[in-house]
Chain A
Amino acid sequence: MSKKVLLNSKEIEIILHRLACQLIENHNDFSNTALIGLQPRGSFLAKRLASILTNDYHVKNIHLGLLDITFYRDDFRRRDEPLEATDTQIDFLIENKNVVLIDDVLFSGRSVRAGLTAIQSYGRPKNIELLVLIDRRFSRHLPIQPNYKGRQVDAIDKEKVIVHWKESHTKDGIYLENK
């Protein structure tokens, strides 16, 4: 099993700032925008982006939510491991908002599909965009593409992209692991 560094913490920092600036270009003051991190792993990225927008770019009143998609997944009863739910924290209305779904790695697109269904339970958004840190192209099962992406990666199915955040590990880092 080999492990290759795709992005180090400095590169991640630069990418996060670039993504934040791209969001500002399209969402102005964020008054009608909701950032929704897909639980569990997308929530780290969503929180980090929200903090960069608030602290470095002085955007006020960001609507940040975390969305659990467990009950909307299409692999219920089809896996050996049982699915484990996490919390959903959305304390504002989605109705008529510009929603940005946020996840760390876009692979098959199935999680995003589940997220698109799940978010409708909170109202009818005006539109929905997708932001991912790593886009694994050529591995999609569904016609889903990101609006904002940190880095595009060409990886074969046997390889796995692993994202470490300093909140859960000691430092930020993105690795490509060959199983």
Chain B
Amino acid sequence: MKQLSVEHLLGIKYLNKNDIDLIFETANHFKEVINRPIKKVPSLRDITIANLFFENSTRTKLSFELAEKRLSSDIINFSASQSSVKKGETLIDTVNNILAMKVDIVVMGHPNVGAGVFLSKHVDAKIINAGDGTHEHPTQALLDSYSIKEKLGSLKGKKIVIVGDVLHSRVALSNIFALKLQGAEVKVCGPTTLIPKHIESLGVKVETNIQKALEWCDVANVLRVQHERMDVKYFPSTREYTQLFGINNEILDNLGKKITIMHPGPINRGVEITSEVADSDQSIILNQVENGVAVRMAVIYLLAQQIKR
């Protein structure tokens, strides 16, 4: 039976290899769907999905919304900035009020770690974590792996380096879980202040020299410096960060091989990556965006399949 082993998508941590394979296989079909003249299927026409975003998010929200519309589900959108959350309502109350309107699936982005897990224990709906603080962002990791697999054929034995602000990145943690599960080798590279302590216990290696890291890898997943999550200064200046960890054509040309460049967006052009690199043929940044819709369609479809009438 081809079904996910989990009832919610709270993090990659809870998935197994078969789940990831099933999601990718289903995403392949949806990728074909979104490239048709009419890019829509009627599968989820009796499912209602609430997109709850308690923090600013543009591309994740758009990508989820598009995926839901392509599957013909009904959608309600909620963003905390315009809601009663500001009036002091609790998360469970907010969500239960929305669920009273007969919602089947909740897609939630939240600034607090574990918000999705907490919610899944208290409300009767499928929960999809669209990012919980600095913890996990499972659909981003899935679309990253899917994009690497599409480009390189397989992840087994491939060398991936995650560059930049690993400390504040939920993309990094989910990526590490997803890549390791599929047999890839993972290194993280960035200023020591932005690399979490004990990250080696997850089976990844740490490198602080960008040149060495890029020479080692097949794929570099470049992260944004998340100023909004930084309570103290982690490096002296943006200029210094760019000089030490910024990726430009000069570094890439000296590698002697062509590596693949990824970025979960939004890009700070000229900080972690130059425009020339972001727009080069080595970059698969826009493929990631397209694959994001297909992978999210797959996740929503597979979870909706478990909701029996």
**Does A77 contact B42, Cβ atoms closer than 8 Å?**
no
B contact patch SS = loop
Chain-B contact segment, one of A79-87, A99-107, A155-163: A79-87
Residues of chain A at the chain B interface (Cβ within 8 Å): 68, 70-72, 76-78, 81-85, 87-88, 93, 117, 120-123
Sample of 18 more A-B contacts, CB < 8 Å, known A83-B305, A120-B38, A121-B39:
A70-B29, A71-B41, A71-B42, A71-B43, A72-B41, A72-B42, A76-B44, A77-B304, A77-B308, A78-B308, A78-B309, A82-B305, A87-B32, A88-B32, A93-B37, A121-B33, A122-B38, A123-B37
Give Cα distance in the complex from A84 to B22, angstroms: 10
Q: Which of B3, B33, B42 contacts A82 (CB 8 A)?
A: B3
- With A76-B305, A77-B308 as given contacts, are A121 and B2 in contact (CB-CB < 8 Å)? no
- The answer for the CA separation of A77 and B105 in the assembled complex, in Å, is 14
Instruction: Sample 29 A-B pairs with CB under 8 A, ordered by A number.
Output: A70-B29, A71-B29, A71-B42, A71-B43, A72-B41, A72-B42, A72-B43, A77-B307, A77-B308, A78-B308, A78-B309, A81-B1, A82-B305, A83-B305, A84-B2, A85-B26, A88-B29, A93-B37, A117-B42, A121-B33, A121-B36, A121-B37, A121-B38, A121-B39, A121-B40, A121-B41, A122-B36, A122-B37, A123-B37
B interface residues with partner A (beta carbon < 8 Å):
1-3, 26, 29, 32-33, 36-44, 71, 301, 304-305, 307-309
A82 and B305 alpha carbons, distance in the complex (Å): 7
Known A-B contacts A71-B41, A71-B42; the reply to A82 vs B309 at CB < 8 A is: no
Please report the C-alpha to C-alpha distance between residue A70 and residue B305 in the assembled complex, in whole angstroms. Answer: 12
A134 to B308, CA, bound (A): 32
Q: Which residues of B contact A117 (CB under 8 A)?
A: 42
Chain B residues with CB below 8 A from A82, complex form: 1-3, 305
Instruction: Return chain A residues, CB-CB under 8 Å to B36.
Output: 121-122
Which residues of chain A are within 8 angstroms of B43 by Cβ–Cβ distance? 71-72, 76
Bound CA span A102–B3, Å: 29
CB-CB under 8 A from A121, the residues of chain B are 33, 36-41
User: Main SS of the interface on chain A?
Assistant: loop
Bound-state CA distance A118–B304 (Å) is 20
Point out the residues of chain A lying under 8 angstroms from B3, CB to CB: 82
Assess A68 versus B1: contact at CB under 8 Å? Given A77-B304, A122-B38.
Answer: no
- A88: nearest chain-B partner, CB-CB: B32
Alpha-carbon gap, A72 to B29, bound state (A): 13
In the assembled complex, how far is the CB of residue A69 from the closest CB belonging to chain B, in whole angstroms?
A: 10
B3 nearest CB neighbor, chain A only: A82
B298 to A, closest residue via Cβ: A85
Distance (whole angstroms) from the CB of A95 to the closest CB of chain B: 8
Assembly CA distance A121 to B26 (angstroms): 18
Give Cα A83 to B301, complex, Å. Answer: 11
**In the complex, A120→B305 CA distance in Å?**
24
B44 and chain A: residue at smallest CB distance: A76
Closest Cβ neighbor of B28 among chain A residues: A87
The 5 closest A-B pairs by CB, nearest first: A71-B41, A121-B38, A85-B29, A71-B43, A121-B36
A68 touches B42 (CB 8 A): no
- Which residues of A have CB within 8 Å of B308? 77-78
B32 touches A77 (CB 8 A): no
Please name all residues of chain A whose beta carbon is closer than 8 Å to the beta carbon of B1 when the two chains form the complex. 81-82
For B71, list chain A residues within 8 Å (CB): 71
Chain A residues with CB under 8 A of B307: 77
Q: Shortest Cβ distance from A100 into chain B, in angstroms?
A: 20
Closest to B70 in A: A71
For residue A87, which residues in chain B have a CB less than 8 angstroms away from its CB? 29, 32
Q: Measured between alpha carbons, how far is A82 from B42 in the docked complex, in Å?
A: 16
Measured in the bound complex, the distance between the Cα atoms of B1 and A81 in whole Å is 7
Q: Report the separation of the CA atoms of residues A85 and B37 in the bound assembly, to the nearest whole angstrom.
A: 20
Closest to B305 in A: A82
Identify which of A68, A72, A77, A93 contacts B305 (C-beta below 8 A).
A77
Question: Which residues from A are CB-within-8-Å of B305?
Answer: 76-77, 82-83
Inter-chain CA distance A78–B307, complex, in Å, is 9
Q: How far is the CA of A82 from the CA of B307 in the complex (A)?
A: 11
**Chain A: minimal CB distance from B46 (Å):** 8
When chains A and B are docked, how far (Å) is the Cα of A84 from the Cα of B43?
13
- Contact A71:B33 (CB < 8 A) given known A81-B1, A117-B42: yes
